[in-house]
Chains A and B, each alone.
Chain A
């Protein structure tokens, strides 16, 4: 950390032209040489530690987020230069809406401006041919922010070389649920009108919430003798929840579905047995991205925090780093990458050995 004075001298030194030039050349050299080895195709970052960094350095939280964004720009450059195809970042969790309104608003306006900056003509994403995709629950984004986000996505849509996935209001459980829902929708739509677009103006979660609220009210009216045993909030888990949805499903099934009436005759469906992990995979928000190779989380927290649960559960190397996100740069990322390459090499050797042994047998 050091005092402010020290850091100023340090900054002056680091930004003096010859030193800056040398550093830039060194970076280029390192990135160029890293490229000679295997490179992860899909890297995910949990950008954790902006707030702690701000606290440690006695600056505004928002300023910490700003520095975090700069760090992101640096690391994106490193990634795309070394040849990473897809970078996924955890920008904003659905849980983060619980933070103070001031901070959420600041983050939102930051997202608005920064995404635009990233996507601008001649800016970072354009230079490396990367397109932006926004993964998450769009209906939670405010309209003005959504507009800016969509604009950024549209501006970079023609880029095909690389992808930047911005997870913005995202949680992995929501993603998995959506994938399950989409699959069920596909399989419960009769065959001949299969290719109906799934775009609707209503939000499913909103409707569900409404249904549940209605059900709760009914329950409160009907079963007044045991109102305490009922779950009072939608987040309360357990079997009661499951029973609720069961009972509601039987009660709602009484009115016949309109689809059948319009089609006439028994509808034919796809066979549910043909659903596989791949089907769900294709319905995930990261459907066309290569499998996640590397997941980096900064600030020493060793948790996934509802990020990439589905994607990271198999052969992903998960790395937890002690440094805070605004401090994260090539110099922290380099050992991670080299270690990943080293592991990859060892894995290959092992596979070869196994193959050799099986050949001997």
Chain B
């Protein structure tokens, strides 16, 4: 730090004897700045660049060694983290299994209602993302049957917890082709949970398709008074098509209207789009539960996600009750206590 190494300009700068020009100041700083980005934007400075690179080749000479070091460290980090991730996954799986053992619903709505009775805040509109797996895993959760099974279970939990609206997002939208069958399956699952007398009424719908609630189900007879006490569950099936594509459709319609002069450009605003999407697709869910190990939305309708709480259990795979329960606890900002 001796003053001997100073050049005249540096000295001038330190002594503040006179103001330095911008260029002089730049010159002063240059040795301390990192080397210029290699592919500079302006071609005019190419020459200056080549000069400088020839200067910096001295430090670049260590290239191979440094690259080797970087590679080595990269692989070490990757290895260490992969071990760490694996252990963490194992730990989380064990923990998840213990929790699912302690908090099993026994296919009884009372147990589920008991689990959630201390929660002050419940979502009015719950949304879940489930996956259609083609012959993957082979744990009985594959294919259409597995998918329907998942949806049925989730619907039963939601009904037990008292959530009135459940939207199920599944990328391909296969279930939309089997509306009556899906309805029947959910219906029978609800019956197995609640029993034939107390099961909630159910309507199943999907955007662009008419709502499906079969006429024979809510018997409009003398039992009407009992019906009043029953809950109603609406299940909404969403697919990839209800996401970006629907916004595109809306744009097309608006463009067509604008061409005819029916709508003016200034009249297109957030409220208009919101109202349209609200009516035709779905409202904003309060809580979105992912059953995948990481948060990837996979084409979930973007407009609706504005303030939705997104819950996922890291490293979890597949639909299970503890994820559902923990999501609700998380939503109500309550710590989950194990054991009753």
Contacts and interface: CB of A to CB of B under 8 A. Distances in A.
Contacts of A160: 41
Interface in A166-220: 172-174, 176-177, 180-181, 183-185, 187-188, 204-205, 207-208, 211
B298 A314 contact: yes
Given A302-B311, A318-B297, A188 B265 contact: yes
Given A29-B70, A257-B261, A205 B306 contact: no
A180 B251 contact: yes
B280 to A, nearest CB: 10
Interface stretch (A59-67, A103-111, A230-238): A230-238
A36 B310 contact: no
A272 B73 contact: no
Contact of B42 (A158, A172, A256): A158
Contact of B81 (A205, A250, A315, A339): A339
Given A158-B41, A241-B275, A342-B82, A318 B303 contact: no
A34 B29 CA distance: 29
Most buried by B among A161, A185, A208: A208
Given A303-B307, A313-B300, A319-B295, A33 B81 contact: no
Interface residues on A, range: 35 or more
Contacts of A205: 269
Interface string A271-293: 01101110110000000000000
A335 B270 CA distance: 38
A161 B255 contact: no
B255 A275 contact: yes
B252 A302 contact: no
A1 B71 CA distance: 35
Interface stretch (B3-11, B116-124, B151-159, B242-250): B242-250
Nearest to B245: A277
Most buried by A among B40, B66, B251: B251
Nearest to A231: B271
A260 B296 CA distance: 47
A272 B248 contact: no
B104 interface: no
A176 B251 CA distance: 11
B90 to A, nearest CB: 16
Interface string B52-78: 000000000000001001111110011
B51 interface: no
B20 interface: no
A34 B74 contact: yes
Interface stretch (A8-16, A122-130, A140-148, A324-332): A122-130
Nearest to A186: B255
A110 to B, nearest CB: 25
A40 B149 CA distance: 37
Decide if the interface of chain A is mainly helix, strand, loop or mixed.
helix
Interface stretch (B31-39, B221-229, B231-239): B31-39
A4 to B, nearest CB: 30
Interface in B267-320: 267-276, 278-279, 294-303, 305-311
Interface in B253-269: 253-259, 261-269
Given A242-B276, A249-B262, A280 B244 contact: yes
B275 A275 contact: no
Given A29-B73, A127-B34, A242-B272, A183 B310 contact: no
Interface residues of B, number: 72
A227 interface: no
A343 B293 CA distance: 11
B26 interface: yes
A173 B243 CA distance: 14
Contacts of A341: 78
B178 interface: no
A41 interface: no
Contact of A241 (B271, B294, B295, B311): B271
A35 interface: yes
Contact of A310 (B29, B244, B275): B244
A309 B273 CA distance: 15
Contacts of B256: 272
B265 A185 contact: yes
Contact of A309 (B264, B302, B309): B302
A306 interface: yes
B294 A343 contact: yes
B305 A304 contact: yes
B85 interface: yes
Contact of B268 (A181, A320, A338): A181
B310 A159 contact: no
A122 B272 CA distance: 46
Contacts of B308: 303-304
A253 interface: yes
A342 B265 CA distance: 46
A174 B41 contact: no
Nearest to B297: A313
A200 to B, nearest CB: 11
Nearest to B312: A302
A245 B275 CA distance: 11
Interface string A27-39: 0011011111100
Interface of B: 26, 29, 33-34, 37, 39-42, 66, 69-74, 77-78, 81-82, 85, 243-245, 247-248, 250-259, 261-276, 278-279, 294-303, 305-311, 330
Given A275-B251, A309-B302, 5 more contacts: A161-B41, A173-B306, A319-B295, A338-B77, A338-B81
4 tightest CB-CB pairs across the interface, nearest first? A188-B258, A33-B73, A187-B255, A36-B74
12 contacts: A30-B73, A35-B74, A37-B78, A127-B34, A127-B37, A180-B251, A187-B258, A237-B271, A241-B272, A309-B303, A338-B77, A339-B85
